[in-house]
């Protein structure tokens, strides 16, 4: 269990002032090509300078010292840099969870994860709440408010980068919401974030939205893909992930074959392990069969506790160590590579499946 510090930071109450800069359209989530058109007649080379300032996380147009003062003043009248505020931060020894206030008063969460070597990963949200309703995920239990726009997605990265005090190594879209149900805004955000940041270090995690996976394969920026497969037994998967019951595992695998043929990346299969539910040898055999023929790594995730979640009337529980070890052995005996995900952020309710759980201190 991660130790929690008392380093809780707060911003003013969750209400933006009437004259807030957020009332002006933000530029933070606009890709460079769009920005050139949007800011015309400012010359394209000047717009690229502005874009780079935005990408570095500038707090004011007046920081952009290589832009003529008259242009900065005009920009400040017409546009905002950002539309969101940091509402609070909870810090642990391997993670920081940020609550981010959107312009309409909705609050989302994003997480900065730190590994043993000090590498930092920004875990970003794409929706407020989630419509998929996976039974093991607290965010799904919150219901669905709305999808985020590209500025609201990108600004999470800027807030986390400020908290990190340094460079961020990787970006994962594994926070609140289903990224592939917000394709257009996700794509715009990736186009902004990938400027000077390798696409190989950006991962999109999905519950398995078929149409979205085909979109990734058909001309998207070549991000990496992670797919949640808590069970490769169709009936059990439907019960654990009711939002995915409209398509079969066979259809999902066909989409993954297409993605892999086009993008050439190894796929991560994320398997949340629930004590006594999906950890049998039969479950492992079904997962191994599903993975067969694909270039995959199975990421085993012992369920991170989130109060109030039930499966068919019974409280969920985390599997024991021996239960996890046996499942991993079953997979590896069938030639499937499997890794156990190290828990990060559980003490601040910032781990996989916990976003939307508000610990004491907010």
Contact between 139 and 130 (Cβ < 8 Å): yes
Cβ contact 184:230 at 8 Å: no
Burial of 122 (0-12, 13-18, 19+ CB in 10 A): buried
Contact 271, 300 (CB under 8 A): yes
The pLDDT, as a whole number, for residue 37 is: 97
pLDDT of residue 12: 35
Residue 119 CA to residue 361 CA, distance in Å, equals 26
DSSP string, 36-84: HHHTTTS-HHHHHHHHHHHHTT-S-GGG-TTS-HHHHHHHHHH-BS-S-
Q: How do 314-315 and 310-311 pair as beta strands?
A: antiparallel
**The pair of three-digit structure tokens given for residue 333, joined into one six-digit string:** 């005996």
How many Cβ atoms sit within 10 Å of the Cβ of residue 252? 22
Sort strands 144-147 and 107-114 into parallel, antiparallel or unpaired.
unpaired
Residues forming a β-bridge with 226: 205, 268
Please identify which residue in the block is written with the tokens 């539910």: 277
Q: What is the pLDDT of residue 141?
A: 82
CA triple 134-120-80, angle to 5 deg: 85
Known catalytic membership, residue 34: no
Centre a 10 Å sphere on the Cβ of residue 107 and count the other Cβ atoms it contains: 17
Per-residue pLDDT of the chain (362 residues; tens, 9 = 90+): 333 333 333 333 333 333 344 479 999 999 999 999 999 999 999 999 999 999 888 989 999 999 999 999 999 999 999 999 999 998 887 889 999 999 999 999 999 999 888 899 999 999 999 999 999 999 988 889 999 999 999 999 999 999 988 889 999 999 999 999 999 999 999 999 999 889 999 999 999 999 999 999 997 788 999 999 999 999 999 999 999 989 999 999 999 999 999 999 999 999 999 999 999 999 999 999 999 999 999 999 999 988 888 999 999 999 999 999 999 999 999 999 999 987 777 766 777 888 885 444 43
SS3 percent helix, strand, coil of the chain, rounded to 5, is 35, 20, 45
| Catalytic residue status for 109 | yes
Number of residues written out for the chain: 362
Q: What is the Cα Rg of the chain in Å?
A: 21
pTM: 0.90
User: Phi, psi at residue 139, to the nearest 5°?
Assistant: -60, -40
Q: List strand residue ranges (DSSP E) for the chain, in order.
A: 9-10, 85-91, 95-101, 107-114, 120-123, 127-129, 144-147, 170-173, 202-206, 224-228, 267-273, 296-302, 310-311, 314-315, 338-340
Catalytic-labelled residue, pool 130, 137, 207, 352: 352
Place of tokens 């590209």: 150
What's the pLDDT score for residue 347? 66
Q: Rounded to whole angstroms, how far apart are CA atoms 334 and 288? A: 7
The pair of three-digit structure tokens given for residue 195, joined into one six-digit string: 């400027």
Rounded to 5 degrees, what are φ and ψ at 189? Answer: -65, -40
Give the whole-angstrom CA distance, residue 88 versus residue 10.
4
The pLDDT value given to residue 259:
96
**C-alpha to C-alpha distance for 19 and 21, rounded to whole angstroms:** 7
Q: Catalytic: which of 103, 109, 178, 185?
A: 109
Q: Which residue has the tokens 């989409």?
A: 255
Q: Is 194 helix (H, G, I), strand (E, B) or coil?
A: coil
Task: Give dist(CA 349, CA 301) in Å, integer.
Answer: 15
Which candidate, 263, 266, 269, 265, places its Cα nearest to that of 249?
A: 269
């Amino acid at each position: 269990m991660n130790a929690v510090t008392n380093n809780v930071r707060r911003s003013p109450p969750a209400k933006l002032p009437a004259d807030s800069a957020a009332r002006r359209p933000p530029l933070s989530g606009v890709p460079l090509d769009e920005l050139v058109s949007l800011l015309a007649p400012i010359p394209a080379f000047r717009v690229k300078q502005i874009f780079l300032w935005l990408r570095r996380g500038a707090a004011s147009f007046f920081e952009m010292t290589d832009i003529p003062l008259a242009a900065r003043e005009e920009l400040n009248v017409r546009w905002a840099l950002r539309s969101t505020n940091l509402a609070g931060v909870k810090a642990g020894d391997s993670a920081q969870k940020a609550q981010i206030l959107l312009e309409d008063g909705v609050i989302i969460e994003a997480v900065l994860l730190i590994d043993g070597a000090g590498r930092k990963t920004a875990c970003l949200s794409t929706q407020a709440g989630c419509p998929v309703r996976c039974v093991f995920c607290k965010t799904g239990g919150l219901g669905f408010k709305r999808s985020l726009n590209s500025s609201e997605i990108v600004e999470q990265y800027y807030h986390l980068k400020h908290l990190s005090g340094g460079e961020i190594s990787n970006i994962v879209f594994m926070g609140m919401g289903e990224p592939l149900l917000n394709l257009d805004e996700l794509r715009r955000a990736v186009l902004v974030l990938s400027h000077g940041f390798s696409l190989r270090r950006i991962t999109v995690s999905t519950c398995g939205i078929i149409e979205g996976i085909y979109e990734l394969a058909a001309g998207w920026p070549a991000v990496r893909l992670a797919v949640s497969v808590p069970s490769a037994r169709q009936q059990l998967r439907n019960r654990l992930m009711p939002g995915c019951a409209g398509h079969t595992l066979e259809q999902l695998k066909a989409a993954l074959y297409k993605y892999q043929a086009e993008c050439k990346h190894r796929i991560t299969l994320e398997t949340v392990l629930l004590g006594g539910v999906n950890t049998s040898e039969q479950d492992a055999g079904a997962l191994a069969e599903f993975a067969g023929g694909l270039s995959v790594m199975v990421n085993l995730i012992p369920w991170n506790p989130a109060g109030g979640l039930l499966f068919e009337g019974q409280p969920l529980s985390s599997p024991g160590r021996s239960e996890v070890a046996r499942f991993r052995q079953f997979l590896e005996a069938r030639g499937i590579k499997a890794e156990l995900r190290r828990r990060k952020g559980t003490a601040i309710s910032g781990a996989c499946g916990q976003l939307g759980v508000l610990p004491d201190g907010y």
